[in-house]
Amino acid sequence: MGAAERIVPDGRCELVLHYGDAFVESAADGIEHVQPTALFAGQLSRPLWLRATGRAGVIGVRFHPAGARSFLGFPLGEATDRRIALASIWPEAAELTSAIIHADDAGRVQIAERLVAQRIAHHRVPIDEPIARCASEIAAQSGRCNLEEVIAASGVGRRQFERRFRDSVGLSPKRFASVLRLRSVFDVLQDDPGSDWTGAALAAGYFDQSHLIRDFRRYVGCTPAQFVAARAPLASALVA
């Protein structure tokens, strides 16, 4: 039984397929829940704690920021901070998900690709291209962009843009940008191990320490000082 590890938001939704022993996640109320074999993990807006119960074996299919809507089949905002059992929204996939457990590594990848392709073909939900372009632009700049300019360039009215962005991405544009900005702090530290927190924060677009601490509390669940003191396994996950 492994220790619980902290998973923080990274701006992506993911299809998760377990072929090893189950993972257990801790809810805000302290109750633990066993994850299903196949699940859709929506956007995170807060940290999540996961614990392995034995031998881990996982395939993850990560979607582009606005690419998961066509797979899920309903607005991404409804999946935020949720892990949804695939069987509850797509019972027909049971045969494929069961086959993953018995396949070799190459076979598992092929089955996962086929599963995603079939689901997207079944829904035929087109990608919202203006929103997808804006989400890609925000991601390309690691959240360090002028959102007003991005929205204006989309040609979509602000209120409609906000609604469509949440439906397609699962987070508001502002929250999506702030998740990516915090993530980029760890990218800076990975690329330049000699950097300190202050330098990394400035490079990531933070202009004061209070802003960095606020985002750390929201998305990591602690302050930067507490994170460094703990030196938790989160470090490798954040900079992977």
pLDDT of residue 198: 76
pLDDT of residue 70: 93
pLDDT of residue 4: 81
pLDDT of residue 203: 79
pLDDT of residue 240: 33
Long-range contacts from 140-143, C-beta under 8 angstroms, 24+ separation = 142/180, 142/181, 142/183, 142/184, 142/187, 142/204, 142/205, 143/176, 143/177, 143/178, 143/179, 143/180, 143/181, 143/184, 143/205
Q: Which strands make up the sheet holding 38-41, listed edge to edge? A: 58-62, 14-18, 38-41, 83-85
Beta strand pairing status for 38-41 and 14-18? Answer: antiparallel
Where do the domains of the chain lie? Answer: 5-123, 129-171, 175-238
**pTM exceeds 0.85:** yes
Q: H helices within the chain, ranges in order?
A: 69-72, 86-89, 94-102, 105-123, 129-140, 147-154, 158-169, 173-191, 197-203, 209-219, 224-230, 234-238
Place of tokens 């070799």: 104
Residue 38 and residue 229: Cα distance in Å, rounded? 35
3-state helix, strand, coil in the chain (%, to 5): 50, 15, 35
Which burial class, exposed, middle or buried, applies to 213 when counting CB atoms under 10 A from its CB (0-12, 13-18, 19+)?
middle
Along the chain (240 residues), what's the average pLDDT of each consecutive run of 10 residues? 82 94 80 91 94 91 94 95 94 88 90 91 88 96 93 94 97 96 82 72 82 90 76 42
pLDDT of residue 235: 43
Closest CA relative to residue 171, chosen from 237, 227, 234, 219: 219
Determine how many CB atoms are found less than 10 A away from the CB of residue 33: 11
